[in-house]
Structure 1
């Protein structure tokens, strides 16, 4: 494959122009070093005291235990049995322990904690590869199951590691020089060999998006490279290389911003916003600091709009719209401070309120779960540390035309009652599930007709067997199986004519689904999903016909995936949802004998969201050309014809 040689110029280039770095050394990154006791003193400093106390206490508790050790045999498992978590769990926990030690060192300035940090630094520097084994191309290029140390691969793991070392160097540079002279030179050597040199030498990294396919790796890696370059390319004579690396990273980031739609939607869904668009917003904030405000991208429409994407995806409580590989109930300890900071910078008061709705003044302001850089920024952001909780905005209607995702709830500002979500799109989206035309229903903010999400990642997740995984298949989404045919993957399996109607009495989404079933012989499959606010009812109407005129057979059925306790009744089912939400009744024509299949769950990525099981209802559609399914709060069943 040939790659373009001329520099890419997109919205960032147009807005930022030639970027000139004006801050360096201890001022390179927007966090005070540990020597600034007005920030880091545990008693009088401005850093979040609850966060410092919590992290130091956990660091003390683990201090006498062995450091986690990612093993070669576990790295090789990716190619043997597909398991990637054994190596990753150990590697991630090693880095989190190092982050905790760094906070303890910054808080206490105790030589023993500096030694602990040095131990962690050297462990990372002696780790054969910073690349996560599931991402490395060593098997394809070298025929090896372990990393080839002479040909390092720059991936998410390498980016996270080099940025962590850069933040440690920034936070504790003076203390490291005193306690362990030479260790900072070791950091810079490893950063150059493992990241800066391959980043510049190879320009075929798939995550740059030279082929036009740009996803969340792009801002995540480019952002970490920029952080590392700002801090670690600081020796005499390094300025030219620093500027070259940063210019390449900004150019790569520009490719991401160029394809970010004007409405700011992310086809990977809410869960991936945090490690995609949020990463772009964070590094642009860091660049604004490093350029004394000259690099200001707040006028870029897509960046301004993506700040709103999290609250536009919110169902209520801890629940979110979860198309693609995201969880419907993702971990609650997201880096909300990053959203709060971006919302302040872009002037989005609703997004700032949404972030603040997650600020618990009785809990740490940030955690190490999302990396040291995010931890440091969250602990030392005065506006976030002192933020008061606010109610989430919960907009009444959301229409994201770029991804064809629609949301309607009964009332703005409240998750009470029913919420409808529907989507069109295509089956070639990033982290795609075959789910064109699927819909979700939540009651009191809790999903009851659901998207399962995804199980734990393995080698199969992103390989040729991806769609053998049941959660990825359309047969496990809320769409029909047509003449025994499920939706195939690929951009050609797509919705057509998606449109919305938004009004006070009700809002609706209409779409043509025949294109998502290219081999089913459909002339049309029209779906209309509507929230009737006056009746407090969701109505999903399907109508269809076949090009050959043959009536619908037994091999055509509609599936509904349900979370909660399901009791099948004539003409419907009563469902008691999770999390104490009010019961609902799902209704269909009384002459349809629905089949029930219980799917027992054992994968933690699924059980921590849905519990022990999900239930699939199969509605046979033989001899029909239309069907209505409704969802209402619990009330006696009435016959639906």
Structure 2
């Protein structure tokens, strides 16, 4: 009952924030998009200034749209009509980063993530408020959606763009938005039927194929939220429209549904492999929606839920459905149609075998999250064999997740950026060679033993003559202490380093490394070390474009040279002990 009351408090606060922000925006003018801002990405690769204005405009649309739906006040409706007219007058709904003006004469009509989102938003808002918005605004908005989104997609050959056959969130977002708009605006007939069949095929045969049977989203938890929200929205709307079509009814989707609850930890920490986020807030609306459908859904603590302003893109789908789905779930719980919300489990082990992830939980709210996988994954970082170590809500050994998205970040220069390189992860450095990018650079063994030991083999990830790279990780369930053992065979003369990453303060004391958190310290001991610990600080631009100082802990590992052998053997043991 406690969590149920917390969810009630959340939705009450959410509504008060909508009211307060709508009152503020009603007296403001929308920021203006300009050619100068649009061209910045083309000239210098910067996408943030244009997008700040673009999403600032979507803030007006989403907040005033929801306020109008909840309270139906004349002043909100009038301001919303002004906003809709301005959105419809935009030259292009797609972002500059997704448009190639020099190569595409039809660039103004490109359907990308945000053009499709804008179309779905206008279709939905004008449908919900069909009795309150003026007829000319409804006609204008719906005609724009048909002209910019539905008509170009319908008239295109398969694939409309690469996203129609992509196995990532682009597919779910764009197909989900096009499908949702079609269900709202298209008249019954052959054309609508064919469009829905095409979208179903794309979602089933491409988006869902991007997941293994374990349901893991290798792009990161934030991308799971992004793609699966739109997939769920369309799947449920289509099921209501035609009960014979149910995209949710498969074993794989059932596994995908339960992915989020495996990835949350104390302090709101989350799995941050690839372009993930180590402090990802979770969507209350989607979680409530899934809890309405599946009785074993578990909720992270409500203090880590995404707030109204938690999405810098101000997406309508997140903002509206966080309100609607949460209300519906609470009503269903009260009417005994759904079970009361359950908190996360605090212990145990979980293996996501297809993604090659393992999650172990122990005392003091500790967790170790380790991965094998390969270096050709969606939003890839060169991180095969890496892990992060959490204690009581703090990351003592970290995974940086997504860096700042720039033009270079998605170019051939991607692996020149610190957070995407092997050296920014908790993996050995062998012969001063970073891990290589590509699917062939992978782990060839990954398992969890009966004794809760995680075992890896990942020499292939380096693309050099490292004959063996074995790693074993063990988390003591009773103390939360962590042990990592590495065994590396390589050519004679090759230098092997251990390499660990943290955002927390680090010092070398009494032949050990001390990592200091707010609640605990972790003492790191290293067996098989040669020479001194070396601590260097690297400047990292995070996903929000904010510079952070990252501490890299590195030391050389003793490399034995067996007699009459051309092989060097590095045997390393790292022990991490928690103190108060």
Fold shared by both chains (TM-score > 0.5):
yes
Q: How does 1:183-582 map to 2 (within 5 A)?
A: 183-200=137-154, 201-208=156-163, 210=165, 213-234=166-187, 239-255=189-205, 256-291=207-242, 293-330=243-280, 332=281, 334-347=282-295, 349=296, 351=297, 353-354=298-299, 357-358=301-302, 371-381=315-325, 382-385=327-330, 390-410=342-362, 416-503=364-451, 507-518=452-463, 520-534=464-478, 536-546=480-490, 548=491, 550-553=492-495, 556-577=496-517, 580-582=518-520
Query: What is the distance in 1 between the residues matched to 2:456 and 2:540?
Result: 32
Residues 119, 315 of structure 1: CA spacing in aligned structure 2 closer, same or farther, 3 A cutoff?
A: same
Residues 207, 113 of structure 1: CA spacing in aligned structure 2 closer, same or farther, 3 A cutoff?
A: same
Whether the 8 Å CA contact 2:183–2:238 is kept in 1: the answer is no
Query: What is the distance in 2 between the residues matched to 1:103 and 1:195?
Result: 23
Task: Determine whether 1:618 maps to 2:554.
Answer: yes
Residues 120, 367 of structure 1: CA spacing in aligned structure 2 closer, same or farther, 3 A cutoff?
A: same
Residues 490, 106 of structure 1: CA spacing in aligned structure 2 closer, same or farther, 3 A cutoff?
A: same
Secondary structure of 1:187's counterpart equals helix
Residues 588, 95 of structure 1: CA spacing in aligned structure 2 closer, same or farther, 3 A cutoff?
A: same
Deviations 1:104-132 (A, max 9, x none): 33344343322211111111111011111
Task: Determine whether 1:74 maps to 2:22.
Answer: no
* 1:76 Cα deviation after fit: 1.0
Counterpart in the other structure of 1:12: none
* 1:290 Cα deviation after fit: 2.1
* 1:501 Cα deviation after fit: 1.2
Q: How does 1:31-46 map to 2 (within 5 A)?
A: none
Whether the 8 Å CA contact 2:444–2:458 is kept in 1: the answer is yes
Whether the 8 Å CA contact 1:70–1:88 is kept in 2: the answer is no
* 1:373 Cα deviation after fit: 3.1
* 1:209 Cα deviation after fit: 5.4
* 1:274 Cα deviation after fit: 0.4
Query: What is the distance in 2 between the residues matched to 1:373 and 1:533?
Result: 40
Query: What is the distance in 1 between the residues matched to 2:316 and 2:506?
Result: 44
* 1:360 Cα deviation after fit: 9.2
Whether the 8 Å CA contact 2:542–2:548 is kept in 1: the answer is no
Structure 2: gaps of 5 or more residues: 1-9, 334-339, 561-569
Whether the 8 Å CA contact 1:571–1:591 is kept in 2: the answer is no
Counterpart in the other structure of 1:588: 526
**TM-score normalized with structure 2 length:** 0.88
Residues 321, 604 of structure 1: CA spacing in aligned structure 2 closer, same or farther, 3 A cutoff?
A: closer
Query: What is the distance in 2 between the residues matched to 1:48 and 1:633?
Result: 38
Query: What is the distance in 1 between the residues matched to 2:365 and 2:19?
Result: 43
Query: What is the distance in 1 between the residues matched to 2:354 and 2:135?
Result: 53
Deviations 1:374-413 (A, max 9, x none): 33333233344567775322451110011101111115xx
Secondary structure of 1:377's counterpart equals helix
Deviations 1:558-615 (A, max 9, x none): 21001211111243211112xx3311111103654111101245546375xxx84220
Whether the 8 Å CA contact 1:422–1:438 is kept in 2: the answer is yes
* 1:544 Cα deviation after fit: 1.2
Counterpart in the other structure of 1:93: 56
Q: How does 1:46-125 map to 2 (within 5 A)?
A: 50-125=13-88
Count residues in correspondence: 551
Query: What is the distance in 2 between the residues matched to 1:599 and 1:258?
Result: 37
Query: What is the distance in 2 between the residues matched to 1:156 and 1:305?
Result: 25
Q: Root-mean-square deviation (CA), in Å?
A: 2.7
Query: What is the distance in 2 between the residues matched to 1:539 and 1:316?
Result: 21
Residues 512, 49 of structure 1: CA spacing in aligned structure 2 closer, same or farther, 3 A cutoff?
A: closer
Query: What is the distance in 2 between the residues matched to 1:446 and 1:561?
Result: 13
Structure 1: gaps of 5 or more residues: 1-46, 636-641
Whether the 8 Å CA contact 1:196–1:245 is kept in 2: the answer is no
Query: What is the distance in 2 between the residues matched to 1:509 and 1:191?
Result: 51
Query: What is the distance in 2 between the residues matched to 1:113 and 1:456?
Result: 36
* 1:318 Cα deviation after fit: 1.2
Residues 359, 202 of structure 1: CA spacing in aligned structure 2 closer, same or farther, 3 A cutoff?
A: farther
* 1:622 Cα deviation after fit: 4.7
Deviations 1:194-247 (A, max 9, x none): 11122121423444454xx5111111111111111111224xxx5333222222
Whether the 8 Å CA contact 2:122–2:141 is kept in 1: the answer is yes
